[in-house]
Amino acid sequence: MCGICGKIYFDRSRQVDERLIRQMADVLRHRGPDDSGVFAAGCVGLGHRRLSIIDLTPAGRQPMANEDGSLQIVLNGEIYNYTELRPGLEARGHVFKSRTDTEVILHLYEELGPACVEQLRGMFAFAVWDARRQELFLARDRAGKKPLSYAIVDGSLIFASELKSLLKDPALRSEVDPVALHHYLTYQYVPGPQTIFKGVHKLPPAHTLLLRNGDIKIERYWQLFYKDKLQLPKREDYCDQLRHVFTEAVKIRLRSDVPLGAFLSGGVDSSATVAVMAQLLDRPVKTFSIGFDDKDYDELTYAAMVARQYGTEHTEFVVRPDALQILPTLIYHYDEPYADPSAIPTYYVSKLTREHVTVALNGDGGDESFAGYERYRADALAARYARLPHVVREGIARAANLLPYREYRWSFSRRLKRFLSGVADEPARRYVRWLCYFSNDMKDDLYTGEFTRAMAAHDSLTLTELAYARSDAPTLLEKSLDADVNLYLPYDLLVKVDIASMANSLEARSPFLDHKVMEFAASLPARLKLRGGQGKFILKKAFEPMLPREILYRKKMGFGMPINRWLRTDLKQPAYDILLDSRTIGRGYFKREAVLGLLDDHTSLRADHSYRLWALLWLELWHRMFVDKSEVLGL
């Protein structure tokens, strides 16, 4: 697990500045505190920061060359099937000087070229410079666990694991892309391939980039297909196969030369991961859970239940999050506006876990493959709701408007109002309406006239509509799952975990995101994922022999923070001060009276605008740090 960067001039007579590559790499030190390396030769330079996981010796140092030095590689990630790939390469005459997975990719590239990615099983972003062909090859893993961004500037291509590394190149202007900002206010993140900066792009998951003779070719090498379904005689057969596929994915993620453990939230996915680890390891699993004083967000009781059942070496942390202190740190590490509040507990649990281990398995990806989110159930309910007589639906809507505001996030009134907010839309637009921070109507109220006109041709909801349209899924549920796999998963959830863990030099591994597990899940009939209002139906059935019913069938809590309360207490005055500041309003995006209305409605309990205010607060502080270049040491 590491950080990578590089630069290549299209004009082969130009020389890359080795000092720039070192500066780009040094910004990524948190991703790889153990070692660093630079390769610079003529028009190309590669940089690397290393977090040593496999083969801790100097032989694993990167950039790494093949036998004759014609290839150079830098890798961020882990290839879990490298031990299976190596013997075949050795049989074909390749000579290895290390025990690393990096060198396996290097020799596999010699054999297969860009097609080598199809053989890799893991999480990765890597670059290969081929001096003989004068080609640069970039690749990103299937699910999008490991980030990789690039830009074309001053006759060159630059790339890096994080945007802050790219910004070290003085040729790159840190100019905000207003369309990306517009999309951020809908989704709480900037959907790829855009970034918040003009001219800077994310290489999408499951894609490769080949630079040859000044031409750039980007191709997709993998995607999920939902049409061909697995047909087995009995439900138990599906359960058996699911446990087998998942166990194998966990097993290959236990390869490590450094201490290894697991996040344990007490939810289905992390609990299943720990249960399988306990069966595979000959020593107690080291598990880590985080709790809070606020019981609406605390799951320690459930995590402890699983820890006791499997005799893990369990460590609990109870934290009292201080948004005033942690927000500037998060803004620095996330590089882009990123308003998912669960970044806070993810950062805390990563920081505290890193004090004990270097690698931690987690349960990420189970919801998107097995229909774990409440919105999937709401989608199914919407079809039934649409069949009700019009007069009945009107009555429900009027009654919902009369319900009082409730602060408790699972209150009936909050959930009903959210459901009704998008139930009348077409499926794709309805789905994103349930997820969005600012709807189109809200943006019309918020935006200045100039910004409204500038964004008139850009409907953020079409990004989800396109994801639905591209999917081959035969059911609405699976189209929603596929849309999440291509949008929410790589650009929100996986960004959150990658940044929070790597900010603390911790490697996070996700067996549910093994592409064989994802492919198996896609092959399951939809009725086995969502059944009778029960999400993750087949996953829960498969793990009934291994986990308590209290774990499998309790309400999903999620990994959140009470930002609604913070914005009425500790963050109230800072929010008013910052969001109404002349510098903020002067950016020309938002009307002062609209922002003031959001603040007043929220603090007076007339409405819950917590996520919207959080998004605006993060956006402005991000501007001050990355655009204004001023330090944000406190709010």
Q: How many CB atoms lie within 10 A of CB 46?
A: 29
Q: Beta strand 260-263 with 359-361: parallel, antiparallel or unpaired? A: parallel
Q: How many CB atoms lie within 10 A of CB 372?
A: 24
CA distance 10 to 89: 33
Kindly state the tokens that stand for 13: 């007579």
CA distance 483 to 461: 12
Q: Which helix (H) or strand (E) holds 151?
A: strand 149-153
Give 373-430 as a DSSP string. SHHHHHHHHHHHHHTS-HHHHHHHHHHHHHSPP--STT-HHHHHHHHHHHTTS-HHHH
Question: What DSSP state is assigned to residue 227?
Answer: S
CA distance 257 to 82: 14
Give 524-565 as a DSSP string. S-GGGTEETTEETHHHHHHTTTTS-HHHHTSPP--S---HHH
Catalytic residue among 2, 43, 239, 436: 2
CA distance 424 to 434: 12
Q: Which helix (H) or strand (E) holds 187?
A: helix 178-187
Q: How far is CA 113 from CA 45, 99, 140, 317, in A?
A: 20, 21, 15, 46
Backbone angles phi, psi at 77, to 5 degrees: 135, -165
Concerning whether 2 is annotated as a catalytic residue, the answer is yes
Q: Beta strand 260-263 with 200-202: parallel, antiparallel or unpaired? A: unpaired
End-to-end CA distance of the chain: 32
Tell me which residue of 274, 265, 263, 325 sits closest to 297, measured CA to CA. Answer: 265
Q: Which residue is associated with the tokens 């003031």?
A: 596
Backbone angles phi, psi at 439, to 5 degrees: -75, 170
CA distance 439 to 91: 58
- In a 13 Å sphere around the CA of 599, the CA atoms on its Cβ side amount to 19
Which residue spans within 245-348 are E strands per DSSP?
260-263, 286-292, 313-319
Q: With the CA atoms of 138, 50, 340 and 378 taken in that order, what torsion angle do they form, in degrees rounded to the nearest 10?
A: 60
Active-site residue numbers?
2
